[in-house]
Amino acid sequence: MLLDALAYDRGAVLAGEWWRLLTAHFVHLGAAHAAAGALAAALGPLLFRAAAGWRGWTAAALAAAAAVDAGLLLDPAVRWYAGASGLAHGLIAYGAARTLLAAAAAGAPRRLAAACLAGLAAKLAWEACCGALPASEALTGGPVHVAAHRDGALGGLLAALAAAALPRRR
């Protein structure tokens, strides 16, 4: 089965199957999990498409995936993972933060970006305190690894800060 061959499996990664650190973000537990992951991952670029070009969004996706992967590797209790939710949280954080940073530089606040970051922070706080949102495990067909959401969002925020610090290309 494709899921078994491509999901993050701690033992397999430590035995040299390093590609699972990338492919785990693209395999899902079923059709509902895949649809939710794809929709969530598209949300950031759709809401904040003006925040960056394809290079910026690609860098943000890689930063979010790397942050999720680091969290997986640093937590020996996590033996298995699949899905795009951490990546999705990173893309939303990246787009909203890039929009706010650009607005701050121009002196014009962006309400949607601020609301998205506030909502994301509230969701992550809920998950840290109370676990996965109600019904999310039923929707995805399996357990939700909420630390991936936090780690992905952190990766997206760091990518936005790095992009803001880089000089603009003309």
Is residue 72 in a domain?
yes
97-125 burial, b for 16+ CB within 10 Å, e for fewer?
A: bbbbbbeeeeeeebeebeebbeebeebbe
Write down the pTM of the prediction: 0.91
Is residue 11 in a domain?
no
| Least reliable range by pLDDT among 62-76, 104-118, 149-163 | 104-118
Cα–Cα distance, 126 to 129 (Å, whole number): 5
Is residue 16 in a domain?
no
Do 21 and 96 touch, CB atoms closer than 8 A? no
Is residue 99 in a domain?
yes
Q: What is the pLDDT of residue 44?
A: 92
How many domains would you assign to the chain? 1
pLDDT at residue 108 tops 60? no
pLDDT band at 151 (very low <50, low <70, confident <90, very high): very high
Counting DSSP H helices and E strands in the chain, the numbers are 9, 2
Cα–Cα distance, 129 to 46 (Å, whole number): 30
Max avg pLDDT among 102-111, 119-128, 130-139? 119-128
Name the residue range of residue 161's domain: 28-77+84-165
pLDDT band at 158 (very low <50, low <70, confident <90, very high): very high
Tens of pLDDT, residue by residue over 11-38, are 999 999 999 999 999 999 888 889 988 9
Is residue 145 in a domain?
yes
Is residue 4 in a domain?
no
Over range 76-99, report the average pLDDT.
Answer: 95
